[in-house]
Amino acid sequence: MALARRIIPCLDVKNGETVKGVNFVGLRSAGDPVELGKAYSQAGADELVFLDITASFEGRKTFTEMVTRVAEAINIPFTVGGGINELADVERLLYAGADKVSVNSAALRRPELIEEITTRFGSQVCVCAIDARHDEDGWHCYLKGGRERTERGLFEWAHEAQERGAGEILFTSMDHDGVKTGYANEALARLADDLNIPIIASGGAGKKEHFRDAFLQGKADAALAASVFHFGEIAIPELKQYLHDEGIDVRL
């Protein structure tokens, strides 16, 4: 029996506040992360993802304290990512209250990190986040918040991440990020067909139909979004009722 599809708000946190951009640039403030997290938990979000996009040591310390405050305010699974390079980072965030961690650039640079995390804490703790863009020569993975292209292809890297023990793939299409024209459904469907771990769709939500299409066309297990939730364009209870009415299994 298939699991219910999940709706996941994502909060990019910089210097203690939630921010959102378009195609990974042009960030603007979207509010207090703890208050937003609490509101989403109460509104029926299935999980939350928090990403620390401030890499400095001071930012890391501030962010860890915020993770604790968010964890105390919510009662749904909570994934935290950003700047995780070693097991000590994972331990720090799990101790602060995270349920899962998301690894991206560090895993691309050193794929063994995925095995280290899953061996120590279990596959369910490790989400492999992939930022990819469809270039002229196909889908390529990018590092450093989308600033640096690698020669790793999206599909082969996702497959390797699964083989190394990742429990989920969080795929963000950089071309679709923040432009609200829908998710990268063809690439999502291919990932879903290639892999046997859950795929989280990210990048492109602008209206309720886009979530439906990510589940039906993209075969995603979960859909992640940011600005449509942060700025009140789509309410989670209405979205879930719409998806339910469209025949998609969601938790109401």
Residue 222 contacts residue 3 (beta carbons within 8 Å): no
DSSP state of 3: P
Outline where DSSP puts E strands in the chain.
6-14, 17-22, 25-31, 48-52, 78-81, 100-103, 126-135, 138-143, 148-153, 168-173, 199-202, 222-225
Annotated active-site residue 245? The verdict is no
Active-site entry in 12, 89, 177, 213 = 12
Orientation of helix 236-245 relative to helix 208-216, angle to 10°:
50
Q: How far is CA 241 from CA 1, 25, 104, 175, 193, in A?
A: 21, 32, 33, 29, 27
228, amino acid identity: V
Residue 20 bridge partners (DSSP): 28
Q: Would you call 59 helix, strand, or coil by DSSP?
A: helix
Active-site entry in 46, 52, 89, 131 = 131
Annotated active-site residue 131? The verdict is yes
Enzyme catalytic residues: 12, 131
